[in-house]
Structure 1
Amino acid sequence: MNIVALSKRLISPRFSNPVSLHGINDALAETVVSGRKPILGFYGRSFHHLRKVGNYVAPRVFFVSSRFRNLSTNSSSSSSKQPAFLRWYLRKLESNPFMTKSITTSLIYMAADLTSQMITMQPSGSYDLIRTARMASFGLVFLGPCQHVWFSYLSRILPNRDVLTTFKKIMMGQALFGPFSNTVFYSYNAALQGETSEEILARLKRDLVPTLRNGLLYWPLCDFVTFKYVPVHLQPLMNSSCAYIWTIYLTYMANQTKADS
């Protein structure tokens, strides 16, 4: 094709619109970056045919592909700057979220109970490791799995992160998840200590309402930060981290003397 014929084709209405050329370049850039097979181009012309037209496509493709390479490089470099333990934990969350969250909650409950015992221990006392095992097993068997299901459920029915939606999640937690989890916690701990059903009911009457009332002073702020700013797959970890302080109080309450039935 001679120069005159090529010029006529380049200034034809089909190729004179810069927007169209940008669209063609963007589509070709996406094809190059994603590695997909070339598709038929815009306006019924294949990319193979467009390559014959001129050099309008190639420079923009090189620019876009370079930009994507830079983004990939920056992403990998920022990931490499994370601590090794954090990278390992995030990989475990992705590969086995259920078990990872359960074990994490169990460890946090174990640490919280040891801290609670250390605060209230008499000078001549010693750690009650059976009590600590009860707390750790509650986090592993019940609370960890329940948190995984609860936060995933909330993210499905209320996916937005605006303030109104966040307050809806907080109210649902205070009205549903909090009373349920605390009831199971007191009942589970009392049953493992050998208390009868009458004694468990008496303990719930004595301890449950004060626990829920005190929870209203602590959990709404924690839940707001969790629901508003923390990704869904890290929300159980954030919740359990907040629960460390709360569990120090909770384990103290759960291991008080039996209530009068």
Structure 2
Amino acid sequence: MSGLRALRDFYNRSYNKRPILTLCVTNGILGVFSDGLAQTITYYEAKSEQGRNKLDKHLPDKLKEHEDLWPPTPKYDITRTLRFAAYNFCVAPLAGKWYMFLDKFFPMPVASTVASKAAQIAVKRQGDKMAIKRMVTDQALFAPAGLVVFFTAMGFAETRKWEGVKEKFEDAFVPALITNYKVWPLVQFINFKFMPLQYRLPFVSSLGILWNAYLSWLNNASKQEEYVKEHITNPDSQTQKEQVLKT
């Protein structure tokens, strides 16, 4: 426990001195964990038929059309992890400013310690309303915008072509947005209701390690599928299939 308190105190001191840089570094580190988890799950699940079937259930049909032709997955792709960490590092200022904006636009009421019980209940209800307003605004605006930024950045970083960005959106944007709305409204309500401002992005990123792992995995599936489509003009040609597998 003393170690956790020391870490918390170090984070608070760093945030008070350099809030944006602290958010960037924290988010980048959590990005490393996220992609590492995604690669680990993919590697070990893909080693067995049962594991591949479990993963397949969470992929849209168009992202597994040529799954049997995907290049072999390396044990660990450090470039992919660095790319994901760099993305997390770069978007942290935007996310941090967004939370500051919501704090200012939807301020939480403060209950006096000497207020009556009825007044405290009224303040609590008002606080719940503000948390809901923050959550709805976040999910209506920032959630889809965040996915737009993610798939744009990843598509361009991987292919250096805007055509690659377009392919990301065609393959993965809608499935990711649907999954987002199954997971994040409740998490964000808790975040806005109970977390102090300086902890909101780390809280989301920490709980979002699995979410970011999902995004990393979905993004990689899109990348693999587009790779196969680029190298195969005739799916029935065994020679072309062998060339892709050897590439």
Q: Is this a same-fold pair by TM over 0.5? A: yes
1:201 aligns with 2:166: yes
1:247 and 1:141 map into 2 onto residues whose CA distance is 15
Aligned to 1:167: 132
1:182 aligns with 2:147: yes
2:9 and 2:42 map into 1 onto residues whose CA distance is 36
Aligned to 1:110: 32
Aligned to 2:80: 131
Aligned to 1:147: 95
1:225 aligns with 2:147: no
Seen in structure 2, the aligned counterparts of structure 1 residues 113 and 231 have a Cα distance that, compared at 3 Å, is: same
Report the more deviating stretch, 165-174 or 103-112.
165-174
1:221 and 1:172 map into 2 onto residues whose CA distance is 13
Seen in structure 2, the aligned counterparts of structure 1 residues 172 and 114 have a Cα distance that, compared at 3 Å, is: same
TM (norm. structure 1) is: 0.65
Q: Greater relative contact order: 1 or 2 (C-alpha under 8 angstroms, separation 6 or more)?
A: 2
1:200 maps to a residue whose letter is V
Structure 1 residue runs of 4 or more that deviate by more than 3 Å after TM superposition: 122-125, 258-261
Report how far residue 184 of structure 1 moved.
Answer: 0.9
1:235 aligns with 2:200: yes
Structure-to-structure mapping, 1:1-261, within 5 angstroms: 83-121=5-43, 122=46, 125-142=74-91, 144-160=92-108, 162-256=127-221, 257-259=224-226
Report the more deviating stretch, 220-229 or 164-173.
164-173
TM (norm. structure 2) is: 0.68
Secondary structure in 2 matching 1:193: helix
2:204 and 2:97 map into 1 onto residues whose CA distance is 13
1:172-222 C-alpha deviation (Å, 9 max, x unpaired): 111111111111111111111115212311321221111111111110111
CA RMSD of superposed structures (Å) = 2.1
Seen in structure 2, the aligned counterparts of structure 1 residues 82 and 242 have a Cα distance that, compared at 3 Å, is: closer
Report how far residue 226 of structure 1 moved.
Answer: 0.4
1:187 and 1:155 map into 2 onto residues whose CA distance is 28
2:17 and 2:97 map into 1 onto residues whose CA distance is 16
Report how far residue 153 of structure 1 moved.
Answer: 0.5
Unmatched 5+ residue regions in structure 1? 1-79
2:78 and 2:96 map into 1 onto residues whose CA distance is 27
Report how far residue 98 of structure 1 moved.
Answer: 0.4
Contact 1:203-1:258 at 8 Å conserved across structures = no
Rg larger in 1 or in 2? 1
Contact 1:147-1:236 at 8 Å conserved across structures = yes
Secondary structure in 2 matching 1:84: helix
1:97 and 1:210 map into 2 onto residues whose CA distance is 33
Q: Number of paired residues? A: 181
Report how far residue 258 of structure 1 moved.
Answer: 4.6
1:75-105 C-alpha deviation (Å, 9 max, x unpaired): xxxxx99722221111111111100011101
Unmatched 5+ residue regions in structure 2? 48-72, 110-126, 231-247
2:35 and 2:104 map into 1 onto residues whose CA distance is 33
1:121-158 C-alpha deviation (Å, 9 max, x unpaired): 1558410000000000001112x111110100000000
